[in-house]
Amino acid sequence: MAATALYSGPLVLFTNEEAKLIEALTNQIVPADDAPGAVEAGVVYYIDKQLQGPFRRFAPVYQKSIPLFRSACRERTGQEFTTLSFAAQTACLRQIEREPQSAAASFFRLVVDHTMQGFYGSPQYGGNRDEASWKMLAIADVMEGHQH
């Protein structure tokens, strides 16, 4: 699914190609099943916007790490991460995680952290579109009172 398919405002930091990669990674972290996943919750837009605000210190890390991650994936698979099937993406990430000191593994851990924050956090910060995770956890009504 293209990053623009679930438009949630203009991209601030990411190019469309970078957003496609981040979206594919977030889909690996929280895939949709009987409930919406990270893609449907707009997590790529959350990360993009936060990198211009509270996560500003991580913006250079993303800018440096995205090309490194893409190269690591091409070295392992001969393809771009975004062109791989879901299962092949998973296998690539498993290989990358076996090298915990690598730049690609470190970057993936950062994306995992930011994905979790964007998926489970308050929609007022730009993620968790339509309270997707709160509804999945059956806590939407409880959390609504804590948004303000």
pLDDT at 127 over 90: no
pLDDT of residue 36: 75
**Residues whose CB falls within 8 Å of the CB of residue 145, separated by 6 or more in sequence, listed in order:** none
Write out pLDDT tens, residues 55-72.
999 999 999 999 999 999
Element of type H or E holding 104: helix 103-120
pLDDT of residue 41: 81
pLDDT at 84 over 50: yes
| 3 phi and psi angles, rounded to 5 deg | -60, -30
Which tokens sit at 27?
A: 């889909």
pLDDT of residue 117: 86
Which tokens sit at 127?
A: 């993620």
- If we measure between CA atoms, which residue out of 40, 44, 53, 38 comes closest to residue 11? 44
CA distance 49 to 138: 27
Place of tokens 């339509």: 130
CB distance 66 to 21 below 8 Å = yes
pLDDT at 7 over 60: no
CA distance 55 to 53: 6
Write out pLDDT tens, residues 18-41.
999 999 999 999 898 877 778 888
Which tokens sit at 15?
A: 């190019």
Which tokens sit at 121?
A: 């956090």
Q: Mean pLDDT over residues 87-111, rounded?
A: 96
**Residues whose CB falls within 8 Å of the CB of residue 85, separated by 6 or more in sequence, listed in order:** none
